[in-house]
Chain A
């Protein structure tokens, strides 16, 4: 089986499996974020649960970090190998005639998302880890909502979020059905799954954008 994951197809399958996991995670993340629009109390409660539950903190969080790192590292490995497989570049190449922009530029949309995750870690994850585990501050179950509001005050950060999520949408527009195809699920080519893929790639990023814009416009 280890030989399988060293093969070109095995690498594709591992990319798809990590993508499924990350796409599922995005739904959970958005579900929590969206509550901040409707109820400060519910958002605080859910954030507190996520931030303090040992299962989430010490089992799911490391798995998530592994999933993210794996998807990026494998993406780069595949990109380097694919670059090596190419010969001299064509003097004239009309890629738009047979494939979508999203499908040809996954590495670039992926790099923007990676930069965004960097910003997201600086904004939320590092301060959170520092607050809880390094500084050892006492639990304050009502702090999350205000921290969120403060983050979305500067327009540059909101703009960076919006741009990153547009790129995430483009990444997902190809990635969703591509993951199914890699797993050998030809249903990925059928209309229903394509429609779900397009809906997913619009709704998820749009949800995150709405949350960022909502807090920017409602808190100064």
Chain B
């Protein structure tokens, strides 16, 4: 396949940046999208040009690093995948593909397609944990009985990889699917109950402080989430915050 790529190039956080056109030839439909970029980068290196900076780590859909907005959608055209799981067979010979970094004030671009997602880390640090003794005498988790429903629903929420596709695709740059998943993960389990009120208050306060927008329930995040995190997690977070303020 022959493709035209329109890729966002930005030298640094302070640089203005712009879209640059690249031609790639001999793209195999079996390549992953990241492998296609590897080929392009090798070509740029051979020509003594600056390769395109993009985040990637596991290349098996669990690290959530590949923050690329491809042809107008987070992680490209297919559902429930990250960019490493997107294959070139999803495109046609002669296609023009737009590749842009996540866009949100809270996710500033560091370089090219790499964005700073440390806002998510700070939200986690504000309450996305349980305080347990880790000195080696931790109680066996299986000693506390949990319903199958609670275990499964908490696990579904815990599959969030913090990739930021929810923020990138949201017209309001809202982080509520991410925060909803993290709040739910603990709210559903008995171990998370003790700090539940404090947790949701602190995480939502940090989310607001980071400058994410407000959810208007468009549901775009749920569609684009590579892990299929449900909007019900946002509803649960809303309930948790109301509960925390009433008690």
Contacts and interface: CB of A to CB of B under 8 A. Distances in A.
A90 interface: yes
Contacts of B171: 82, 86, 95, 99, 104
Interface stretch (B34-42, B123-131, B201-209): B201-209
Contact of A85 (B174, B218, B237): B174
A218 interface: no
Given A85-B104, A87-B105, A87-B107, A11 B214 contact: yes
Nearest to A87: B103
B208 A8 contact: yes
Nearest to B205: A7
A171 interface: no
The number of chain B residues touching the other chain, given as a range, is 35 or more
Contact of A178 (B104, B217, B220): B217
A184 B211 contact: no
Nearest to B108: A87
A91 B231 contact: no
A19 to B, nearest CB: 11
B72 interface: yes
Contact of B105 (A7, A86, A91, A186): A86
Nearest to B237: A9
Contacts, number: 145
Contacts of B213: 81-82, 84-86
A182 B171 CA distance: 17
A202 B203 CA distance: 39
Interface residues of A, number: 43
Given A12-B215, A174-B217, A184-B235, A90 B207 contact: no
B234 interface: yes
B59 interface: no
Contact of B224 (A3, A88, A98, A185): A98
Nearest to B223: A98
Interface stretch (B22-30, B86-94, B239-247): B239-247
Contact of A184 (B19, B109, B169, B236): B236
A196 B238 CA distance: 23
Given A99-B218, A189-B231, A92 B72 contact: yes
Contact of A182 (B109, B169, B217): B217
A137 interface: no
A55 interface: no
Interface string B153-183: 0000000000000000101111010000000
Given A106-B216, A181-B231, A9 B238 contact: yes
Contacts of B212: 8, 85
A99 B234 contact: no
A7 B241 contact: yes
Interface string B8-20: 1000000000010
Contacts of B117: none
B241 A9 contact: yes
Contacts of B106: 85
A103 B219 CA distance: 8
Interface string A1-28: 1011001111111000000000000000
Nearest to B171: A104
B73 interface: yes
A85 B103 contact: no
B103 A181 contact: no
B173 A82 contact: yes
- 3 closest A-B pairs by beta carbon, nearest first, are A85-B213, A94-B72, A184-B239
